[in-house]
Amino acid sequence: METKKQYKPLPAYLAIGPSDIDGAGVFAQEDIPGDIEIGITHVYDPDFENDHIRTPLGGFINHSKNPNCELRDNESKDKKLLYTMRKIEAGEELTVTYTWYDPKEINK
């Protein structure tokens, strides 16, 4: 029998808070090692914008040209997963480089 992972909007070591980048962001509450999977950011659904539903993790992560995280497809390509690219220090905001749209175009 397959054991399913329990869905949690954010791991206990992350929190949403005010961001200097844009609105709210996702912040490390403790040091996070490099190259680990943090969680699901998007779930494939062709009925939604960009063919994906954003999870709380995906909805609050901000754009950076110098990110500390990256999105990767899962094996079946029906989810996007967030991975750290390097060690992230407690208090640091988690960021990715947006590739589906230009964040500057949203605020026009």
Distances (CA, A) of 92 to 18, 55, 57, 76, 85: 12, 20, 15, 31, 13
**Per-residue pLDDT reduced to its tens digit, 31-67:** 999 999 999 999 999 998 888 899 989 999 999 999 9
The token pair at 60 is 């609050």
Query: What topology does CATH give the domain 33-99?
Result: Beta-clip-like (2.170.270)
List, in order, residues 6 or more apart from 106 with CB less than 8 Å away: none
Sequence ranges of the domains in the chain: 33-99
Average pLDDT of every residue of the chain? 88
- pTM of the model as a whole: 0.82
Among candidates 11, 16, 17, 56, which has minimal Cα distance to 32?
11
Other CB atoms within 10 A of residue 68 CB: 19
